Structure 1
Amino acid sequence: MTNQSWCANDIPIINSGISNFWNAAVFVPITRMMDVETTYRKQLILMVTQRPAENLAEIVAKLQAIAQSGRFYAHDVYDQERYTQLSELTGDLIRLTSDASPDQLRLFLDSDTGYVTPKVDVRAATFINDKLLLVQEKSSGQWSIPGGWADLGYSAGQIATKETHEEAGITVRPIRLAAVWAMRQHSYAKQRLNDIYKMFFVCTAETTDLHPGVETAAAQLFTQSEALATDLSLQRNLPADIQMLFECHAAAQWETRFD
C-alpha cells in the first residue's frame, strides 16, 4: 500500500466505540487518511453524537489538539492537508453537539498555534478582617472571586494582583497558592471547550478602599456562611472552593492542593 492509498479495513467500526476509533485514527499514518471528508466525517459525527453529553467536550478537545499540533509539526504537504481536514471536522462536531456561539468557535479553533496546552484561569482570594472579597459580575449578577485569564507578559501572581485591582479597586499581594484544579475534573457549570487549569491564590490586602470596576457591579466582603449563601457564579467558583479558601486562610501552614 502506498502512502496515498488505504482500504476499507482501515475504517474504524462505529459499534466498537471510541477506543477503536483512536486505535485506527491515531496510529494509522495521517497520509493514508485521504478520505477524511467523506468517511471519517460521517462515521465520527455519528459515533460522537451517540456518546453521553459530558464526554463530548473532552473528545472534541482531543481531536482539535491532535489537529492543531499536527499542523504545527508536520512538514509534508499531504500531512498538513489531512490535519487541516481533521480540524475542519472538529468544527463540524462542535457545531452539531454544542451551543457555542460563532465567536466561541473561532476562539477555540483559531486561538492556539503550535502544540496545544491548557489555558490558565487565575483567582485571587483576598481576606480582610477574616472576610472574603467577592465581586458581582455585571453580565450575570452572580458573585465570584476576582480573577480571569492569565495574560501574556505577566506571572500568575501578577495576574492575581492585576485582576483584583481591575475588579475591586484595591491592591493585593498573593501570599499562598491554595490550589490548582483541572477544571474538567470538577463540577463547574458551563464547561468550556478548552482544557483549563484554575489557580487559586490567597492574598493579603495592601489597600482596602473597595469599589467595582468596568465589568463588576459591586465588591463586598463576606463571612464564609454569607459567601456560600450568595448566588455564586458556578463556572468561576464552587462552594467547595469557597470552603477550601477559608480553610487555607485560617491554617498556619498549607500545602498546595492539586489534581
Structure 2
Amino acid sequence: MQEPKWLTWAQQLQAIAQTGLTYVQDVYDRERYEEIRRLSCEIVETYTNGPMERIEQLFAHDDGYATPKVDVRAAVFRDGRILMSREKADGLWTVPGGWADVGISPSEAAVLEVKQETGYEVKPLRVICVLDNRKQPQPPHPNHIYRLFFLCELVGGEALQETLETSGVAFFDLDELPELSTSRITESQIRLMFAHHEDPSRPVDFD
C-alpha cells in the first residue's frame, strides 16, 4: 500500500516544524514553525476525520531534531512455527514487538516485548530485516517508522494468554496464519522471517 501524498507532505511539514522549533531563537520564527506544525495536523485531520486532540498527541508531541520512530519485532520459532500474539486493541494477530524504549538497546527491547506480550523468554540471535514503513504494504501511519526485526531463540518461560495489551498467544505455520494486524505486521514480512529462519546465511533484508 503506497503512502498517500497528503500524508507524506504532512510528515515533512511536521519534521520541518519540529526541527525548527528545536533550534529557533527569534520569536517570530517560532510562531511560523508553530503555524507549520498546526497546518500539518490540519492536513491529517482533513483526510482522516480524526479528532485534532488525538492527532496532535500522535503526530505533533515530539521535540528535538525530527527522526523516524523505531519499532522492534521478534521472530521466534518453535518446531518450524512462528510465535504470535493477539492485540486487544483490534483483536488481530502480530509477532511480538512495539516501540523501542529509551535506555535499552534494540535487541533488549525485542526481548522485553516478547516477555511482556507472551510470557516467553528469548535470546536475540541476529538482525534479519530493517524496513521502512513507507515502502511496505501497510496502512498509512502519522509517523515515519523504521522497523527492526530480530531472529530470536526460545529459551524459557510459558505462554501468558492475557496481558495488558494482548489476549492470546500461539505458534502458527506459514500456511495457516491468523488474521493479521497489518498496521503492525504483514504477510510479506512474516514470509521474510520464515525465509531467514530456514536459511541462516540469508543476508539482512532492508528498506
Normalised to the residue count of structure 2, the TM-score between the two structures is: 0.93
**What's the offset of the Cα at 1:139?**
2.4
Match of 2:116 in 1: 166
- For residues 38-78 of structure 1, the C-alpha deviation after alignment (integer angstroms, 9 at most, x for no partner) is xxxxxxxxxxxxxx981111100001111111111122222
| CA distances 1:194-231 after superposition (whole Å, capped 9, x unpaired) | 1001111111011152223221111111111122xx10
The counterpart of 1:194, out of the listed 143, 150, 153, is 143
Unpaired runs of 5+ in structure 2? none
The total of aligned residue pairs comes to 204
Pick from 128, 143, 152 the counterpart of residue 203 of structure 1.
Answer: 152
Alignment partners' CA distance in 2, 1:53 and 1:136: 26
Q: Deviations over 1:16-35 (max 9, x none)?
A: xxxxxxxxxxxxxxxxxxxx
Larger Rg: 1
Matched residue SS, 1:206: strand
Q: Secondary structure at the match of 1:235?
A: coil
1:179 is matched with 129
Q: Is the 8 A contact 2:118 2:159 kept in 1?
A: yes
Distance in 2 separating the partners of 1:92 and 1:144: 31
Deviation at 1:92, TM superposition (A): 2.1
Which is strand-richer, 1 or 2? 2
2:193 aligned to which of 220, 223, 245: 245
Higher relative contact order (CA 8 A, sep 6+): 2
Q: Is residue 108 of structure 2 the alignment partner of residue 153 of structure 1?
A: no
Alignment equivalent of 2:179, drawn from 218, 223, 231? 231
Cα distance in 2 for residues equivalent to 1:127 and 1:148 = 18
2:59 corresponds to which of 108, 112, 132: 108
Q: Take 2:42 and 2:160, find their aligned partners in 1: how far apart are those partners? A: 44
Alpha-carbon distance in structure 1 between the residues aligned to 2:147 and 2:90 = 20
Deviation of 1:254 after TM superposition, in Å, equals 2.5
The percentage of counterpart residues that share the same residue type is: 35
Paired letter, 2:195? E
> Counterpart in 1 of 2:83?
133
> Moved runs in structure 1, 4+ residues, more than 3 A?
none
